[in-house]
Structures are given as C-alpha cells and as structure tokens.
Structure 1
C-alpha cells in the first residue's frame, strides 16, 4: 500500500513538473511562433501580393507554425495570429513602410508614426538598358558556355535539401555586369519582391559606409550608443559592430527562444533590447554572429542622419541611386528599420546591390561608397579564427591556398556574399566576373550550385 502511494505521489509530482515545463515553454515560445507567423504572413500578402492560403501552405505549414490560427483583416490591412488561442500577435501594413509587429507600443501609437519618404516617379524600366533599367541585350559573352549555364540554373531550381524541395524561387546571374541568366519558380517573376532576411545586414553595412564617406561616422571611434556610456561597453567601436566582435552576449538560435527570436518577435525597440544585454567577452576579442549588432547599427544610422531624414535615407542615398526601386526595409515598432532581417526586393534589385560591390562601390561613374570600403568589407577580424566574416558580409574562408579550409572548396577564395536565412544569397566572385543571386524557401548545396555556374565561365 505504501509503495503504491509513493508511486502515485511520484507520478503526480512528475506530471506537475511536466505541466510546469510545458507552461513555461508555451509562455516563452508561443509569442515567438505567433509573431513569426503574423509578420511573415502579413508581408507575404501585402508586399508580395500572394494569397493567405498560398503563403501559409508554402511558407508556414510546418511545425510549430501549423499550431497557429490566423485571421486577415483587409479593411485595416492587418494579420492577427494566436497559438491555440494564446500568445496573440498582430502585424500591420502601412504604405511605403511595409509590415510591423505590434510590440511594446500600442497599435494607435505605431499607426501615428510619420515616415517622410520621397516618392519618386520612375520611367518605364523596360525601356532603359540594364542595369539602370530592365531592358536586356540578346547577346551572350563568347566566354560563357550557355548550355552549362542553363543546366546549372535548371539544376538549382529543381534541387532538394534533406529530402525536401529547396523551392528556389529566383536565380539571377550577372557576368561582367551583364544579366546572362534568369529563372523563376511558378508564381514568381522579375517583378515579385522577395525576402532577403539577413541580406539586410549587408545593406545596412553599405549605409554605414555612405555615412563614413560623408564624414558623419568614424569606423574606429566608440559606437554612439546611449546605453553604453560610462560602461565597459563604451569601448565597442563601429568596426566591432560591423565585424561582429562586440562581445555582447547574444545567441543567434532560431530553433527556440533566444536573444534573436525574442528581439525579432517580442520587442518593439530591437536596438535598445540588444544594447542592454551584458558583455560576454572583452570587446574585440571574440567573433559572434549577432542580428542584434546590426540593429544597433541601424539605430546609429537613425540617430546620425536625424528623424526628418531617416526614413528616406536608405532610399535617397543607396537604393534609388542603384535604381533599386522595388527595395523596401521594414521598421520595428519604434520606427527603426530592422537592418538585420527585414528587406524585400526583386531578384534583379538584389543583383544590382551585388553589382555595386563588384564595381568597388561605384555606380554610373560615381563613387557611392568610400574608395576602400569594399576592400575593408572583405577583411576578417583577428578575432575571427575562421576568417569568414567582414563588414556584414560572409567570406569564403580562411585559406587562399588550402581549398579544404574554405567555406565552399570549389569556389574561388575571393568570393564574398550577403547571406540570409533559408538561402537568400548574393554571391560576388570578382575573379570570375560573377554576381549570382539565389532566393528560395530552403537552403541548397551552395558549393555545387556555384561550382556549376563557374564551370560555364570558360576563359
């Protein structure tokens, strides 16, 4: 009898512990799950002009997002989501601004925000030659093997990852600046804006470069972050933020509640959230990839150019200079662009950005970035032991001689790339005169894809 009571009591305690753990997990994870769902569904509907059914089926059908319930309100252009009725989240769409999750501030406060963006009427791009417009030439450079190039693009469009279709949605290939190959999945075309995820980090880096060129920021000066004054973090420089060596404790793990998921889906001011995190390492001594660092950079841009100029700054100083008229950055609830993650553009416009870096920061004869910015951008920090990261760009690894030590062994050592979650990539390979864009739902075998593209260059 006593043994039975002990067993029942032990089972009851275990059950209570399981319930407590489940409640704790739900409290931490459900708002992230519903926040991710709401933000991405809203952007899919109102930026990409896709149906809710299509976005959910293609992008949000897998566990744990399959636990979500949602409603779309076209009258105020919003999406509301919950997980089994809990952790309700709402994302709203605003013209010229994109979609924003409601966090910390009220919906009314967010909707009252003013974004002073100059609306530019663009001429018909189909009548303007590439890269300023979309009119393409029919001739292909003689040193390109068209059959191999076409096969490489076809292969990646049909590729799989871990037994599932990678769902490549767009591929654009530039050779010596000329658009030589392009293909889209069904339902997507050259006018469809697609998410770049962390490609936004490279865009943010370019904006920092522009402010450096204008003399408004200095790379090696302490980063102008109000929360860091008179603290050990006051040593952190812009250089460290760009190279991800701030030492700030930040976990970039999307599979569970972490600093990055809490920042993106539970906080209205993402830069402030990150700035308040403690130091884990002495600044400049350790590499740690952090979306939080980039959002601090984005807020630094805001503070540097001022409130009146901020909303229009990325467009006036960068995107419209490159004729990237589809590009859109989305802000957090505080009004700061989510420079780490929320960028949308056509595949051609992402390719134009890659072409800027291929051309060493020059466009139409004008040096938009500092003359040495691109070279600085591809130098790793001494704290980065693998030598695989520069100024918010990934590098091909830490050995020019030993291909086995490169990120992609069959790709030249000079390749650098803007990389986003799920395999959103702009690859820049100067030695092969290539800029390659690949956008899709899941990652691909990037080494194989690039090896096949490179094989088509026969010079």
Structure 2
C-alpha cells in the first residue's frame, strides 16, 4: 500500500511541476486575452458577457476564465480559477486597454478629437443608404448563393461568419449578417489594423512629411547593424530583427499584446538576426514599432491621436472606427482596430480608387501599387502590410487581388481588375476563399 502511495505522490508531483512550468505562466495570457476581449466587445459594440464568452472567447483554454463586468467603472476583471487576475479598462475614445497594477486609472488622458460630419450622399461617400442599383449583367441568385456558402446552417459552428459584403463599381450588390449582427455592429479587424497603420505612411509621404526609404528613426539602433533598417524594410516585414509570432504559447507577440505597457518598444529592443531586406518574417511587433515611429512625426501626443482620425478614418467616413491604445497611450496598430463591416469596406474602396476619396487624393496612386508589390522572400504572398495573390494563393482569382487580413479570417479583398471589394468578418479561418471569390466573380458574368 505504501508503495502505491509513493507512486501516486510522485505522479502528483510530476503533474504539479508540469502545470507550474507549462500551464501556469500561460494563465496570465488567458485571463489577459479574456479581460481585453470582453471589455472591447461589451463597451465598444454593446455585446453581452454571454455573447462574448460563447463567441469571441470560445477558444481552447480561454473557457477556463471567469469574467466580471463592472459597468459603472467601465472595467472587466478576469481570473483563471481564481488565479492570475487581469483587468481591462474602457476609456471613451481610446477603447479598452489591458492594465497592470502600476497603471493609474485616475490620471487624466488625452483622447482623439473626432469629426463626425454627416453628408447627404449615399454609401460609400455619405451616411445615406446605398443607391439601389441593379446591374443587368449580374446573376444575383448565383451571387447570393456564393455568399450563403460562407454562413453556417442552423445549429452549425463551423464557418462562423458574422458578415459578408460585396461591393461592385462602388455599389453594394450583396450584404448578409449572421444572427445578432447588423450593419451597425462594430467588429474587431485584428491584423487588418496593420494595413490601416501602413496607410498613414502613404498619407504622410503624399504630404511630403516622411521618406520611407530613410533609416527608421530609432536612437537605440544607431550604434549597430540596425541603423541600416529603413521604414520601407519595416513596412515590408523585412527588417531582419528577431521576433516570434506564435499565439499558441508564450512568445514575443503574446507577451507584447498581453503584458507590455508600451507595445512599440518590444520589437525595437530586439537584436538583428538577418541583414535588412533579406529575410521576410511577419511580425506584429514591427507594426507597433511603426505606430511609435508615427508618434515621432508629431510634436504632441494630441496631434498623433488626432491624425489617425482626421487624415483617414473620419476623412473617409469610417465614423464607427476606433483604434485602441496601449498603456503608454500609443495606438495598437498591429491588432486593435474596430469598425462596422461597411466602414471596413471603405478602406478597401480607398485602395481600389488608388487613394482617391470622392475627388480628394489622400495618398499617391503609386502608394497603392507599392503596398501590392511583393516583398523580397515572400513568394508573392506579401507586399507592404497587405497580403497578395501575386504568387497565386487563390489560383482561380485574378493575380492583382490584394487584401487586409486578420486573425480568424477577417478579410477586405481588393480586386482592381474586377472593380470589386469583398469583406468577410467572423471567427474561423477554415474557409475556401478561392471557391467563394471565383463564384462571386463568375456571377458578374457579362461584365467584360
């Protein structure tokens, strides 16, 4: 009997050691992810705790977390079985921010000044409903059937699509939402926010205020090989800096998103492991470093905050949009942009029209070409903060397709040769976009 107890004690010890080493450090990320997700979904889009837990937080291990919403204090508190408590605070204008114990919630903070000028034009250039245009050449039955393939049938939880929007020649030709979602629902774009962040460099370049071919203005890099890294290298994810982008474990990206006070610093502090422009590697840290570089273009923090809205988001009527900030007050340009499906579409339309928004040129047409040109080493998969079809990832879709892409399959597809912008928002990556896009394009059957 004693022997059995000894064996059981040893087994228990091994299990406890394993949990301590392998699982315990992850708890911080789990409760952090949960608190942030609930604070954003609840306070930005008005979703209930239950809706978020069953939808956005329905991820392996995240369902271990217990969450409490404090509506009066605009605060969410999350723990994993009582351990590793994390808090996220919501501040109007800045969105939800995961905070640590050192964060002073009473300290005054600046918020972006917004301009919500209503116009009497129809979508996309105004706030009125889109013109009801019926194109003779489109097979609408085929189009709607293609859109329906991305949605789950009753009781299914496979495709998990929340919205699909198809815009042809500036007109909405198909629009569909899952139960609980509407054209007013704000949805997190995750890494689609990267494409947004990059766009500010195109705008500043058009204004003659930045030269992306110049070395990145990072003081700490000036004494080593990193001084050669240009803003262009960063936009192409080709800096050669060390980084690990792995969401399944404790890695550079999860430590940055769920622990760092100043997310822009994390990539800046990494050593170079390759020569610039010789090794393409996708890094969310790089985008937050770019957000920090944008901050350096302005004398005051207020100007930096305002610029994101006045030069782009409010300029093109993305009035539902909000980009959330980190504890240091900088925009989390890698991941935390929210907007309605129709407003995400406006970003796609701006690129479809090569920077021209209803007659005003926000960035040069050459910028649209720049972001859609393959970067070194990506095999035609990636440009400058946009994903590409140049390498034929979607074999039955035109090669000029390029797109914003985010975790769980947030997509804004831009297809210049077809005058098309297609948006899909949801909670699953396992979709056959090649077949879907091919069917959409085929439905515009006589348009050439």
TM-score (normalizing by structure 1): 0.91
Does structure 1 conserve the Cα–Cα contact (< 8 Å) formed by 2:94 and 2:323?
Answer: yes
Moved more, 355-364 or 100-109: 100-109
Instruction: Decide whether aligned partners of structure 1 residues 330 and 366 sit closer, same or farther in structure 2, where only a CA change above 3 A counts.
Output: same
Q: Secondary structure of the equivalent of 1:426? A: strand
Shift of 1:81: 0.4
Shift of 1:215: 2.1
Shift of 1:241: 0.5
| Counterpart in the other structure of 1:301 | 294
| Counterpart in the other structure of 2:57 | 60
Instruction: Decide whether aligned partners of structure 1 residues 158 and 10 sit closer, same or farther in structure 2, where only a CA change above 3 A counts.
Output: closer
Does structure 2 conserve the Cα–Cα contact (< 8 Å) formed by 1:105 and 1:268?
Answer: no
Does structure 2 conserve the Cα–Cα contact (< 8 Å) formed by 1:159 and 1:165?
Answer: no
Give structure 1 stretches of 5+ with no counterpart: 399-405
Measured in 1, the distance between the counterparts of 2:102 and 2:373 equals 39
| Counterpart in the other structure of 2:88 | 91
Measured in 2, the distance between the counterparts of 1:303 and 1:388 equals 30
Report Cα offsets for 1:194-216 as digits up to 9, x if no partner.
11000000000101111112222
| Counterpart in the other structure of 1:254 | 247
Shift of 1:95: 0.8
Does structure 2 conserve the Cα–Cα contact (< 8 Å) formed by 1:295 and 1:338?
Answer: yes
Measured in 2, the distance between the counterparts of 1:230 and 1:370 equals 34
Q: Does 1:322 align with 2:308?
A: no
> Residue 262 of structure 2 is aligned with which of 264, 269, 281?
269
Shift of 1:12: 6.0
Shift of 1:251: 1.4
Does structure 2 conserve the Cα–Cα contact (< 8 Å) formed by 1:104 and 1:333?
Answer: no
Report Cα offsets for 1:89-133 as digits up to 9, x if no partner.
100101111100004741436x52222x2232432x6x5312112
Q: Secondary structure of the equivalent of 1:273? A: helix
Report Cα offsets for 1:316-369 as digits up to 9, x if no partner.
000111111111000011111000000000100111110000001111111101
Q: Does 1:368 align with 2:368?
A: no
| Counterpart in the other structure of 1:352 | 346
| Counterpart in the other structure of 1:403 | none
Report Cα offsets for 1:218-256 as digits up to 9, x if no partner.
111111123322122111111111110111111111111
Q: Residues 2-401 of structure 1: matches in 2 within 5 Å?
A: 16-103=13-100, 105-108=102-105, 111-115=107-111, 117-123=112-118, 127-133=120-126, 134-158=128-152, 164-306=157-299, 307-384=301-378, 386-398=379-391
Shift of 1:284: 1.4
Measured in 2, the distance between the counterparts of 1:159 and 1:249 equals 44
Moved more, 409-418 or 164-173: 164-173
Measured in 1, the distance between the counterparts of 2:215 and 2:8 equals 57
Measured in 2, the distance between the counterparts of 1:297 and 1:105 equals 26
In the TM superposition, structure 1's runs of 4+ consecutive aligned residues that sit over 4 Å from their partners are: 7-15
Moved more, 84-93 or 274-283: 274-283
Instruction: Decide whether aligned partners of structure 1 residues 85 and 362 sit closer, same or farther in structure 2, where only a CA change above 3 A counts.
Output: same
Q: Secondary structure of the equivalent of 2:114? A: coil
Q: CA RMSD in A?
A: 2.1
Q: Does 1:446 align with 2:439?
A: no
Measured in 2, the distance between the counterparts of 1:138 and 1:308 equals 41
Does structure 1 conserve the Cα–Cα contact (< 8 Å) formed by 2:375 and 2:384?
Answer: no
Measured in 2, the distance between the counterparts of 1:174 and 1:248 equals 38
Measured in 2, the distance between the counterparts of 1:248 and 1:29 equals 25
Instruction: Decide whether aligned partners of structure 1 residues 358 and 121 sit closer, same or farther in structure 2, where only a CA change above 3 A counts.
Output: closer
Report Cα offsets for 1:351-404 as digits up to 9, x if no partner.
1110000001111111101231000111112232x1211110000142xxxxxx
Report how many aligned residue pairs link the two structures: 442
TM-score (normalizing by structure 2): 0.94
Measured in 1, the distance between the counterparts of 2:268 and 2:146 equals 44
Measured in 1, the distance between the counterparts of 2:307 and 2:133 equals 37
